[in-house]
Amino acid sequence: MNGDSLLSSPISIAAAFSLLAVLWGGSFVAIEIGLEYFPPLLFAGARYAIAGGIVLGYAMVVGTRWLPRTRTEWTSIAVTGVLVIAVYHAFLYVGELYVPAAIAAVVVSLSPVLTAAFAAVLLPNERVGPVEIGGFLIGILGVALIANPSTGGLVSTELIGVGLVLASAASFALGAVLLRPLRTEFSIVALQGWAMVVGAGLLGVGAAVTGESIADVTLTPAAIGTLAYLALLSGVVAFLIYFALLDTIGPTQLHLIGYAEPVTAAAASWLASDISSTATRCSASWPSSSGSSSSNGTRSAGSFGPGSPRGPEP
């Protein structure tokens, strides 16, 4: 993929970077909304089954070699599919049952710091300097402040959620480090497509093992909309923008996207909350023939099982 032909000016690069931050930041909010209608692992699996099929199909259409041949290529697909897709999203989606989208985005933004820490341990040529150590300590302090265990005991639901999302960020960072030595000429688009398909399959297995069922899915326009956003916009479109930026500005500058995502996630969360409040007020003012309020038919995250951490959204 030739990113230079797509992004040939500073303005186009800045616009693509901003759009990517909006799409990926908004995905945290889309996940939070979608969990009202889908069990978490089925939700993540469906997202990447759709996105992976499209990305892999795109790799075929543009004429790049899309079938892996070497052990290194298959290993790269396995590492990405297991750690970057399946494990990362399993922990993230379950974690968002416990914490709001904006908090999840802040915790996930620690991925670059965790990547540096894993690289220092696992890669012989990597060194951790004072800046990296300081960043790691500040990140851990930030997570501790977000979790705020003193308000809900040592094992509060928010602490559990932050821990799960932190585990997702650690899985992503570990996957990124393990991929560094696996140099290959295989198309990054095809690799990502295969990894999405592999990750979707593993998420489906996880859903079956944990007792999730398609019967637990409530299909509504909101449910379909969030799945479409995550699979098509945050999945396919955002990854194609990511590939173009990767070709143009390189991985070091592109990793800064992680620090922009919490800002866009917070803005998207505020916008979604404002829209929801407006809809609720309009619904409350509409006369009911029975004289009592009725259910809107959505599933809360609290319906996924006994002791589930979150009830219906206000």
CA 127 – CA 116 distance, rounded (Å): 9
The span from the CA of 127 to the CA of 131, in Å, is: 11
69 pLDDT more than 80 = yes
Residue at token pair 């620090």: 259
Q: Report in angstroms the alpha-carbon separations of 172 from 109, 168, 236, 269.
A: 11, 6, 19, 23
Q: Which range has the top average pLDDT, 14-23, 147-156, 254-263?
A: 14-23
Write the single-letter amino acid at 25: G
10: pLDDT strictly greater than 80: yes
The boundaries of the domain holding residue 239 are 31-274
Contacts of 2 (CB under 8 A, 6+ apart): 247
Check residue 38 and give left, alpha or beta (phi > 0: left; psi -120 to 50: alpha).
beta
Evaluate whether residue 147 is within a structural domain: yes
Q: How many CA atoms lie within 13 Å of 277's alpha carbon, on the beta-carbon side?
A: 6
287 found inside a domain: no
Range in 43-47, 175-179, 224-228 with the lowest mean pLDDT: 175-179
The CA–CA distances, whole Å, from 192 to 16, 154, 311 equal 19, 39, 35
Nearest to 36 by CA among 163, 216, 202, 165: 216
Angle subtended at Cα 166 by Cα 165 and Cα 170, rounded to the nearest 5 degrees: 120
% of residues, the chain, pLDDT over 70: 75
The predicted pLDDT at position 288 comes to 40
CA end-to-end distance (rounded Å), the chain? 45
Shortest CA distance to 143 belongs to which of 34, 56, 262? 262
pLDDT of residue 166: 92
For residue 311, tell me if it sits in a domain: no
The candidate with the shortest Cα–Cα distance to 92, out of 76, 78, 106, is: 106
pLDDT at 228: 96
Quick check: pTM over 0.85?
no
**pLDDT of 33 higher than 90:** yes
Assigned domain for 6 exists: no
Q: How confident is the model at residue 45 (pLDDT cuts 50, 70, 90)?
A: very high
Question: How many domains does the structure of the chain reveal?
Answer: 1
* Residues 206/260, Cβ–Cβ less than 8 Å: no
The pLDDT tens digits for 76-130 are 999 999 999 999 999 999 999 999 898 898 888 888 778 878 888 888 776 656 6
Cα–chain center distance at 37: 17
Determine, yes or no, domain membership for 282. Answer: no
In this structure, are residues 175 and 83 in contact, taking their beta carbons and an 8 Å threshold? Answer: yes
Q: Is the pLDDT of residue 161 over 50?
A: yes
In a domain, 156, yes or no: yes
Angstrom distance (rounded) from CA 59 to CA 53:
10
Among candidate residues 128, 109, 107, 108, the one with its CA nearest the CA of residue 117: 128
Residue 279 domain flag: no
